[in-house]
Amino acid sequence: MSRYSRGARGQLKSGRRTISPFGVVHRVIRDDEVNDFFADITKESKELPDVEFRDDVGKLTKTKRPVYFFNPQRLRLRIVERSLTEKIGKQNKFKWNQAEKARIQQTVVDELGQYDVGGRRLLAQMAVVPSLGDAELADAGYHSVAIGPSAESPIAQFFAREHEIAVNGLRRRPHNPDSEEKDRKVDNDPYTPHISIGRIVHGTPPDVHTQVIELVQRHLPLDVKLDPLEFTPKEYE
């Protein structure tokens, strides 16, 4: 939920409405190919053995399916995670506001214009299952399972460039001739373009974990259509 900085008599200060940390994504367009991919991997995953959980004396307490796949209607290829903008805010002791988000968005659009893809849909081939760490999922008791383009492919290099441009926009402060402040600190993590498609239950035996990855890999490559770059969540725009 948005938070508001109020001036005298409760009036909003222009452009100072604070907002939640935001992300930068390409939405995946759901089509027959995507639907078939999820139908196939979901069906095959039901043949995998359940994960068993036991108490201290070895008594079976519950079982879970080893993997859960997401709703293909809500898939995103993430260029900048919301957790990164949140971390930048905390590192630099400030809160994001609407004007900052709009400035960064325009910077990204302007710099990407040289690639002549602004406002157009992209076609990208997902060819690998990258190994990704996800601290939030791990805390919730899961591991991420994702798909992504081959690292050496031109589209992967393009996504990496989008990431660099967006992070550089996050790094810069608005121009202020009277300010001697330097650019913001950004401790950026290595970027791997990917689409999170599901989660593997924590406690899944290594051999079953491997079977999940191999199952997904068998159904690649997958061509996906992507909407133009956007900043999320959209309700703050």
Helix (H), strand (E), coil (C) string for 19-78:
CCCCEEEEEECCCHHHHHHHHHHHHHHCCCCCEEEECCCCCEEEEECCEEECCHHHCEEE
- pLDDT bin (cut points 50, 70, 90) of residue 4 is very low
Q: What is the pTM of this model?
A: 0.80
173 residue type, one letter: R
Query: For the chain, first and last CA: distance in Å?
Result: 13
69 Rama class: left (phi>0) / alpha (psi -120 to 50) / beta: beta
Report d(CA 205, CA 75) in Å as an integer. 27
Q: What are phi and psi of 11, to 5 degrees?
A: -80, 145
Which tokens sit at 141? 């008791």
DSSP letters along the chain, please?
A: --B--B-GGGPBPTT--B----EEEEEBPP-HHHHHHHHHHHHHHTTSPPEEEE-TT--EEEEE-SEEEPPGGG-EEEEE-HHHHHHHHHHHT---BHHHHHHHHHHHHHHHGGGT-TT--EEEEE-B------HHHHHTTEEEEEEB--TTSHHHHHHHHHHHHHHHHHHPPPP-TT----PPP--PPPP---EEEEEEETT--HHHHHHHHHHHHHT--EEEEEPPPEEE-GGG-
Question: Which is higher by pLDDT, 16 or 218?
Answer: 218
- Asked if residue 190 lies in contact with residue 211, where contact means CB atoms within 8 angstroms, the answer is no
Per-residue model confidence (pLDDT) at position 146 = 94
Average pLDDT of the residues of the chain: 81
Radius of gyration of the CA atoms of the chain, in A: 21
Each residue's pLDDT tens digit, 122-153: 899 999 998 776 655 555 556 889 999 999 99
Residue 179 scores a pLDDT above 90: no
Closest of 51, 84, 80, 86 to residue 65, by C-alpha: 51
- Residue matched to tokens 């899944």: 204
> What pLDDT, on a 0 to 100 scale, did the predictor assign at position 173?
65
In this predicted structure, what is the pLDDT of residue 198?
94
